[in-house]
A and B are shown apart, each in its own frame.
Chain A
Amino acid sequence: MKYYLQQHPLSQTSCMNNSRLFTLQKSVRVFFQMLFWTPVAVLSLLLVYNTLPYFSFSKDFSFIEERSFLFKSNFYNACFYIHIFAGSVCIVTALIQFSRYILKKTKAIHRWSGKLYVFVVLFLGAPTGLYMSFFAKGSFWERALFMFMAGFWFFTTLNGLTTIHKKNVLAHKIWMMRSYSMAMTAVTFRVYHIIFYLMDWGHLENYELSLWISVIGNMLFAEWIIYRKSRNYLKSFTT
């Protein structure tokens, strides 16, 4: 570097300007990443915190009271608790999966956390979610949406697993982003639910609209991120 600058004295100032610009660009990128990940992490952990009391297996919760008829069935009970356990594990493990720092320092954490996420989604979260979707709140379309969510979550997670087995890292990232967008509908739904509640919407309309916006909004956001990052967007749908 010193030899180069001695040979090319004019480039010394331009090098300094370029490095400052580079630092500024990096800081802006880090700032926007923090702006995204901080509320995501906080809301995800709040979701897990609010889920923990359910594991007292008490029926004294409004969610359970509203569906008291369904909770008379032992199978529905079992599916519900497995689903909330799976969802909590998914949310927590997925938070660390997108960290480049962890991936660089210890790949083992990323791999084991990823295996846990895949196992929980494919064998616990998606099947129980699919069963419970038949009894979901709302009309036929809301139930169909929940069924679609379960299937899409399963499909994208499975594709994320198969692509990394084939050593296709880019495809793995793309499919896992889509899978994470489905997992995050639980978080974004609750945000919209509260917003529409504060705007005095009726509870059923609030629930339905929040559901549709959270699913479609998350999917569109994930596709936008993938579109920005990929050279050939349409090829991202092939494994």
Chain B
Amino acid sequence: MKSILYVGATLMIGASIYGFVDFKKTNHSKEFTKMYDAKDAPLVTPLKKTEPVINEKIIVGEELRAKKEKVIEETNTLTSVSANESNSEKKFKNPKKKKLNYKLYSRAALEERYIDKEVRTGEMEKVKSKEQ
């Protein structure tokens, strides 16, 4: 009985000392202090669609006939996704409905980027298990 007490107490004291020493070592690093800070979610700006551009090329090769070629080009411009945008820019966020998933039942941060990942990994596991 006493041996259990001594071993347990030794482990607890050792853990507290070791933890304190490691904490003092890592406390000054920026990586540790900013580890749990909220990070901006990647922003998605809306798709911009331009009107189809019609280029008419008139080929004047032959005098008698004039040929018109219509070149229709559609251009879609996609803006790139940027992680850190300034506040002056307009931000568009897709509001997502929060769905309950058994994967949310954890100590992990319930941020959108982590939740999507957890849900996706869970779905991938299900697909893999079905294939097997």
Contact among B5, B102, B111, B115 for A158, CB-based, below 8 A = B5
Q: Would you call B102 and A130 a contact (CB within 8 A)?
A: no
Contact among A49, A61, A134, A150 for B22, CB-based, below 8 A = A134
Q: How far is the CB of A69 from chain B (nearest CB, A)?
A: 5
Q: Would you call A63 and B19 a contact (CB within 8 A)?
A: no
The residues of A with any CB-CB pair to B shorter than 8 Å are 43, 46-47, 49-50, 53, 60-63, 65-67, 69-70, 73, 75-76, 122-123, 126-128, 130-135, 137-138, 147, 150-151, 154, 158, 161-162, 165, 186, 189-190, 193-194, 197-198, 202-204, 206-207
A113 to B50, CA, bound (A): 70
Q: Would you call B15 and A203 a contact (CB within 8 A)?
A: no
Chain B residue with minimal CB distance to A67? B35
B100 within 8 A of A: yes
Query: How many inter-chain contacts with C-beta < 8 Å in the A-B complex?
Result: 119
Chain A residue with minimal CB distance to B104? A194
Q: Chain A's interface: helix, strand, loop or mixed, by majority?
A: helix
Q: Would you call B100 and A133 a contact (CB within 8 A)?
A: no
Interface pairs (5), CB distance under 8 Å: A62-B118, A131-B15, A134-B23, A137-B36, A194-B105
Listed from nearest, the 7 A-B pairs whose CB atoms lie closest are A62-B114, A134-B19, A63-B108, A127-B11, A134-B23, A62-B108, A122-B8
Contact among B12, B38, B107, B125 for A190, CB-based, below 8 A = B107
Residues of A within 8 A of B121 (CB): 60-61
B83 within 8 A of A: no
Q: Would you call A193 and B26 a contact (CB within 8 A)?
A: no
A76 to B109, CA, bound (A): 19
Q: How far is the CB of B56 from chain A (nearest CB, A)?
A: 54
A193 to B100, CA, bound (A): 12
Chain B residue with minimal CB distance to A129? B15
Give the one of B11, B102, B107 with max A CB within 10 A.
B107
Q: Would you call A66 and B114 a contact (CB within 8 A)?
A: yes
